[in-house]
Structure 1
Amino acid sequence: MTDNRDDGLEARRRRLGAKLANIRKEAHDEKASESSAEANRKGYAMAMKLSSEFIAAIIVGALLGYLFDRFVGTAPWGMIVLLLLGFCAGILNVLRSAGMVAAPHPLDKKDKNES
């Protein structure tokens, strides 16, 4: 009778071990898919940030150029020049945000102001 009981307990332990292995595998797969989804969300957020910085710089340059032309009367040259400067500023902002170009160090700014 003891052997039958031990065999039953051993079979039950194997079934529970198999169920636990399946649950652990599913939890691992779920964590992997969640981390992949989080990486995708971070990439999308970075793309939105970079594109909005670029477009904002162009719009600000165009707006300032329009206002400059309107008040000074240098149409279309102020718009052209400031639009191009806005484009360049947008590219520089995107490169800084992406980590391709370093931002100026605060001590360098301080040294220039003291001179």
Structure 2
Amino acid sequence: MEDDGSESLKARRQRLDTELLARRKVEPKGGSNREAAQGYALAVKLSSEFIAGVIVGALLGYLFDRFLGTSPWGLIVFLILGFCAGVLNILRSTGAVAQPGPAGWSQTGERGKDDGK
């Protein structure tokens, strides 16, 4: 009785191994390279958006300090604002935050209920 169960188990395992081997041969090998390239492109896009926000904030802060003589407070404040803008750009790019729409309109295109009418 025990032999019969282990024989059917061995036969099922052998059949599964042959099916898996056949599927591995059919699957293309280049699919993972394409996915890796898309992931790399997304990483470059998101990092460049973040870095751009920080650089613009730092540049504006430097110019603010240079013209008004408030060094280093303008740089500090605008650097923090640039950091926040960079994070917001990343969240918008990934779809975690809704894109800004026209004032008074929802993202679905319906007029807001609090318009005073």
| Correspondence for 1:48 | 44
Aligned Cα RMSD in Å? 2.3
Tell me by how many angstroms 1:64 deviates. 0.5
- Secondary structure at 2:48 match in 1: helix
- Cα distance in 1 for partners of 2:43, 2:104 equals 30
- Secondary structure at 2:27 match in 1: helix
| Correspondence for 1:76 | 72
**What's the CA shift string for 1:36-56, capped at 9, x where partnerless?**
211111111000000010011
Identity over aligned pairs, percent: 60
TM-score by length of 1: 0.65
**Contiguous gaps of at least 5 residues in structure 2:** 1-21, 106-110, 112-117
Kindly name which structure, 1 or 2, has the bigger radius of gyration based on alpha carbons.
1
Normalized per residue, the structure richer in helix is 1
Instruction: Assess, with a 3 A threshold, how the Cα gap between structure 1 residues 106 and 40 changes in structure 2: closer, same or farther.
Output: farther
Q: Match for 2:82 among 74, 86, 111?
A: 86
- Cα distance in 1 for partners of 2:104, 2:39 equals 32
1:42 maps to amino acid: Q
TM-score by length of 2: 0.64
- Cα distance in 1 for partners of 2:63, 2:40 equals 34
Tell me by how many angstroms 1:107 deviates. 6.2
Question: Which stretch of structure 1 is more off in the superposition, 65-74 or 99-108?
Answer: 99-108
- Cα distance in 2 for partners of 1:106, 1:49 equals 26
